[in-house]
Amino acid sequence: MSDPLLSARELLNHGDVTGAERVLAVSVIDDDAHAARATRALVAICMRSGEVGFRAHQAFDALAARGAAGPAAQDLLFEVAELYRHLRIDDAALDLYNSILQACPTHLGARQARDELTGKKGGGALPELPDLDGFGAPPAAVVTEPLPRPQSLADVEVVPLAPAPVVEEPRLAVPAPSAAAQKKSPSGSGGSSGSGAGADVMRAFPPGHRIAGRYQVVERVGRGGSATVLKVIDHELDETCALKVFHLTGAEADLQRFKREVSLSRKIVHENVVKLYDLGSEDGHYFLTMELLEGEDLGSLIKRAMPAPARALTLLMEACAGLQAAHTRGVVHRDIKPANLFVQREGPLKVMDFGIAKPADATTLTSTGVFLGTPQFVSPEQVRGKEVSAATDLYSLGVVMYLLFTGTLPFTDKEIYALLMKHANDAPAPPTSRNPTIPPLLEGLIVACLEKDPRRRPESADEVRETLQQVLARLG
């Protein structure tokens, strides 16, 4: 078995702190022969950086779940608790102190620290931690400098959180939806653009018209640059559904994109992904039918009022479940944004509009060399024309998370090119700099999703969902 400390030290020598944390966290989570030393190394790294990253939180949570049976486990938990206490993460520190005292009521250090925290007697001095063979003791500035105390996510004031300042979402490929056009559309193709094509569709398929002799048009429920969505009655099955008519120009690329959405979306059968039923054409118009959803997309919801933290966490977990279903089948969405996450009045959130999705092993660029996506939510690899993967969707989901919990986007600019360059090169402001009530575990997750290097992001949508579940559980 390789020594994770040696691997972590090598990564640190190359400046890869996230990689070092990942190697050490795996050792702690797996509880292998090096887990104790890996825990202390993680504590040292967190002390030096002044924060507990996403991977370290995962490892410390796994350590806490194993309990404090025995002096060795108690010593490790005490060191982690002291780290949390120093960084003013009092709730996490108290949980660990109580866990130690439950197993060993005579543990004086844990009792004294717990009493000081519960009695509001001050933070106390952190005992000196060992220099772990090359990791280095934490700098004095980090040890002594007081840090702001993170508050509970339950303290988030929902009303003052303003919606993102850039809500019109200028697009490169697919027009952004407006709030009004998306109230009942399950396709993510509503919006103000594309009015000419939408009018042509309504002239061809007015209310009462039967498309393909089967689908009777009731009304239009969504319109955008790429498609018009109609509410129709399927007389063969005697049920109501949505019919999405694509605004194809006749170009081969448009037709292939239509076929790709049908092909890829039909591969994904999951309660958090919109269901497709049928496809066909009439009078030169290509269409597909899908389940009719009642509600609005997340973008429209945000424009009205930012969802409460617990609600936001639940919606994000449902989005992760839908993405995991797509990724498991080798499909990368490539345009995750609030407008493509549909919040039903009753029922789970649905991921929709796989119109620019591709298989994970497909080529990156379109025939013209232009990436498809939405600038506010696009990943660095899409900007650079690099290979897309499941991590691409996690970056965009990270932008959505940033928006939901700070009320702002991580990057904004009036010029699209400048905005793209920020996604490609700039580090976002820490989420807590815009909302100090965000807990460290959630902030670590958001920052991890927004890593420029896809390899440094969470391993999967399932991993993101599990962390969100932990945040929700702590929120209570």
Distances (CA, A) of 64 to 67, 86, 358: 5, 18, 40
Active site residues: 335
Return the amino acid letter for 273: V
DSSP-assigned letters across all residues of 448-476: HHT-SSGGGS-S-HHHHHHHHHHHHHHH-
Token pair listed for 95: 């949980």
C-alpha to C-alpha distance for 253 and 237, rounded to whole angstroms: 33
Closest to 167 measured CA to CA, from 376, 372, 399: 376
CB 226 within 8 A of CB 186: no
* Helix-helix angle 309-328:390-406, to 10 degrees: 170
Indicate the DSSP class of residue 278.
E
Residue 244: helix, strand or coil by DSSP? strand
Strand order in the sheet with 215-223: 210-211, 215-223, 227-234, 239-246, 285-290, 276-282
Q: What angle do CA 152, 157, 159 make, to 5 degrees?
A: 160
